[in-house]
A = this chain, B = another copy of it.
Amino acid sequence: MVMGHGGGGSLSAELVEHLFAPAFRNEVLDGLGDSAVFALGGARLALSTDSYVVRPLFFPGGSIGDLAVNGTVNDLAMSGAVPAYLSCGFILEEGVALELVGRVAEAMGAAARAADVVVATGDTKVVDAGHGDGIFVNTAGVGLIPDGVDIGPRRARPDDTVIVSGSIGVHGVAIMSKREGLEFGVEIESDTAPLSGLVAAMLAACPDLHALRDPTRGGLATSLGEIAAASGVGVRLAEHALPVPETVANACAFLGLDPLYVANEGKLVAFVPPEHADAVLTAMRAHPYGREAVAIGTCVEEHPGMVVSATRLGGTRVVDMPLGEQLPRIC
């Protein structure tokens, strides 16, 4: 087990394919989405979980508590579900200050209220000093999928417009600069945010959204690669259209990172039927978390499963899946 196995890239995918899928094999798990989707008692539900091990616990623009709520809210929203109830599991290290746990819980409570979800149940375990790392948080969440909504990574189609909701690479650079004590002129704040309201606005403009994903670990490149692989389409990006803020570009140049692979915590990428792309963009730009939404590419029949970027110089390059995360413990 190496750090990359938790990085969301192809090492993570191997872990799922070779260890977890055989152990748990079932049709729901095979759906490949950020959430499991199933019917229960006549309701169509989504269920999702994430554990959070980010360091530091508090960083510019947010905290592990914000990530723990927004991350699970966003995973549910990416299946079109309206997030409703969250569970919360703490694994605390003996000796961690109660005051710190309280601050994380308060951040979670505030984030839950902002996302209009209820933290409905929880659990706390304590491990001996030296066998944990302060505070780990797991959240799981349940949401209700509205009738007629069918969003999934297999549904991308040739000619779909690929839209990203705003600037990329911000969360990863915020964490990295804080952790390494680097400064890049102005402080870069994490973009952590709940995206369920934005998805609702997009669905109102186009109920037939094909695929949605929030590009967290592994960045936009990984999300695009996963959807291309699942649906068998090619993705052609226009590199000049990628919304990379200058601060992120500078930091990435300094750190030797590619913004396409850096984690976001408040952005989504959408695969939209071309005839609805303008309406969806207009709806997104009217929402606080989609003001900078922009089309960044299209789906093609060529090179199925592959993401290719048209460079500024007129050439093309293949956008590979990363092996692991460039920045460990980013969420």
Contacts and interface: CB of A to CB of B under 8 A. Distances in A.
Interface of A: 1-7, 12, 15-16, 19-20, 22-26, 28-29, 35-36, 38, 40-45, 47-53, 84-85, 87-98, 101-102, 105-106, 108-109, 112, 118-128, 130-133, 136, 138, 140, 142, 144, 328-329
A26 B120 contact: yes
A41 B144 CA distance: 7
A25 B108 CA distance: 11
B23 A142 contact: no
Contacts of A109: 22-25
A80 to B, nearest CB: 13
Contacts of A22: 109
Nearest to A35: B121
Contacts of A24: 88, 105, 108-109, 112, 118-119, 122
A44 B85 CA distance: 13
A239 to B, nearest CB: 31
A154 to B, nearest CB: 16
Contacts of A131: 132-133
B128 A87 contact: no
Nearest to A126: B6
Contacts of A40: 43, 45, 84-85, 142, 144
A123 B127 CA distance: 21
Contacts of A94: 1-3
Contact of A92 (B1, B36, B96, B108): B1
Contacts of A140: 47, 49, 87, 89, 138, 140
